[in-house]
Amino acid sequence: MTPTPSPESAVSPPRLAGLAREGHVVLSVCDDGQFAQAVEAASHANVMGCLQCRKCSSGCPVAARADIQPHQMVRLVQFGQQDRVLASRMIWECTSCQTCVSRCPQQVDIASMNDALRQMACRAGTVAPGTAVTTFNSIFLRTIQRLGRMYEMGLMASFKLRTMRLLADVGKFPMMLFKRKLSILPPWVGGRAARKALFRRARASASAAESQIGGKP
């Protein structure tokens, strides 16, 4: 049975604090399910299937540094806490390693949810302050669309120029070249027209999902 959080108004302040320390998300419903439906439509993840067993959070490699845990993020989506979710660092810290998906008894694809939520956050302009990963994300997607696969050298050069982190990790550059972890020349993969069509379909799918919540990302 899926545990149902109590509304904030129905929980005493001491109990609320205790639940917060235990990692529970105690909140009230902010909409009639439109946000959760939009996330499900954009990610094809079974958002409402989450049992809050916390297996995702216990196995997540970035949970310790995130502002909210994966299971909490899913619960926030279920309860329509759109602003809180889209402003969270968690959706950007996610590395899409699929550990949460492999551990989930309901196969809730949190990684795909985070992909959809990142797009919504960018469109809404509610990205967590100081999150340079949004810049990285946009450069990454442009590189894939243009070349068909990752070009690490070009990605890091663009990222450093955009963020002015010119000397960060520069000492690792020679060793990565020596071990052939980086390629000087960009790769070339055919099918550019097909990639453009794929990105157009992805944008159309995201726009259609957002229209379910009144045009608000």
Contact 65, 133 (CB under 8 A): no
Residue 143: predicted pLDDT: 86
Average pLDDT over the chain, rounded to whole? 79
Task: Give start-end residues of each CATH 1.10.1060 domain in the chain.
Answer: 8-130
CA distance 93 to 43: 17
- Architecture per CATH, domain 8-130, reads as Orthogonal Bundle (1.10)
Residue 166: predicted pLDDT: 80
List the pLDDT tens digit at each of the 217 positions of the chain. Answer: 334 444 443 334 444 444 444 455 445 555 678 899 999 988 999 999 999 999 999 999 999 888 899 999 999 999 999 989 998 888 988 989 999 999 999 999 999 999 899 888 888 877 765 567 778 878 888 888 888 888 888 888 888 888 887 887 778 878 888 887 788 888 777 777 888 888 888 777 767 766 655 544 4
Q: Give the burial string for 2-34 (b: 16+ CB within 10 Å, else e).
A: eeebeeeeebeeeeeeeeeeeebbbbeeeeebe
Residue 3: predicted pLDDT: 42
Residue 209: predicted pLDDT: 63
Residue 98: predicted pLDDT: 93
Contact 162, 135 (CB under 8 A): yes
Neighbouring residues of 198: CB distance < 8 A, sequence distance ≥ 6: none
Residue 8: predicted pLDDT: 43
Residue 74: predicted pLDDT: 94
Residue 30: predicted pLDDT: 59
The predicted-structure confidence for 85-94, as pLDDT tens digits, reads as follows 998 888 988 9
Angle between the N-to-C axes of helices 192-211 and 133-147, in degrees from 0 to 180, rounded to the nearest 10: 140
> pTM higher than 0.85, yes or no?
no
